[in-house]
Amino acid sequence: FAEMLSNPRLIPVQGTLNVVMKQNVTLSCHSESGSPPVRYTLFKHNQKVSTLKRPDLTPSLFNLTINSASDVGEYKCKAENNITRGGKYSNSLNFTLIEPISKPVLSSPTSQAKKGQNVTLSCLAENGSLPITYIFFKGRQSISLPMKMQKREAAVIFLFINSSGDFGTYKCRAENNFRNNTKYSNSFNFTLAAEERSHSQPLIISLVLILLLFVIGFALAIKFFIIPSYKASK
C-alpha cells in the first residue's frame, strides 16, 4: 500500500532563527506520514541547496553556515516519494542576522546651557542589528524608561536645566538581542552658558568699586578731617 507524503515541516534544530555571522546551523525537514523512501530537497530563495534521501520517515538534517547576509534569506524544503507528483512543500523559514552593537554616541545640539533652559540628548549606535534598546543615565541613576528603536535612528530625551545639579555627567546604554553585548556611550556634560556667568560679573565689579570708593573715602577723611582735628587739639 503506497501512501502520499504529508507536507513536511521545516524547523531549526538549534531552536532559534537568530544567528550570527560564521555560525553553523542545522535545519530539519520531516514528513510525518507517507510511504518511504523519501527524498528531501532544501531550497534558498527557490534555488536548490541540497538533496538528501531517507529510507524511512526519520527527519532529514541539512547543515548550513551563515557566511553572508544573503544566507539569512527564505528557506523551504520539498518532500517527494514514488507516488507524490511534484512533491510537497514545507513552511518557509527566515533567519535573523544578529550583529553586536557598536559603542553608542551621546550628543546634544548644544553643550552650553543656562538655568531654566530645555535641552535634548540623543543616543545612537551606528552598528548593530535592530531593534536596539536605549537607556539614559545621569551619573549611575537611570533617567529614562527603556526606549526600543525599530529603525536606525537616535533615541532622544528632553531635559530641563533647573539647578546646578543638572550640569552633571550623562551617559546612555545600548543593547540588542545579541547575547552579552551591552555598550555604554561617551560621557557628556553641559557647561554653564557664558551669558549666565556674565550675570555675576557686574555684581562683582560693583562690589569692588564700592569697596574701592570706601577705602578712598576713608583715606580722604583721615587726611582732611581726622589729622587736622588731631593737630588742632594739640
Topology alike, domains 9-97 and 105-192: yes
Number of helical (H) and strand (E) elements in the chain, helices listed first: 3, 21
Condensed to tens digits (0 to 9), the pLDDT of residues 135-146 reads 999 999 999 999
Note the pLDDT of residue 115: 86
**Residue extents of the structural domains in the chain:** 9-97, 105-192
DSSP label of 167:
G
50 has pLDDT over 90: yes
Select, from the ranges 26-30, 32-36, 195-199, 217-221, the one with the highest average predicted confidence (pLDDT): 26-30
Render pLDDT for 154-196 as a digit per residue (tens, 0 to 9): 999 999 988 888 888 999 999 998 878 899 999 999 988 765 4
Note the pLDDT of residue 44.
94
Strand positions, DSSP E, 130-175: 132-138, 141-142, 147-149, 155-161, 169-175
Q: What is the mean pLDDT of the chain?
A: 88
Q: What's residue 177's pLDDT? A: 86
CATH superfamily of 9-97: Immunoglobulins (2.60.40.10)
Task: Report pTM.
Answer: 0.60
User: Please, what CATH class does the domain formed by 105-192 belong to?
Assistant: mainly beta
Give mean pLDDT, residues 116-121. 92
Assess contact for 84 and 4: CB atoms under 8 A: yes
Distance CA 230, CA 234 (A): 7
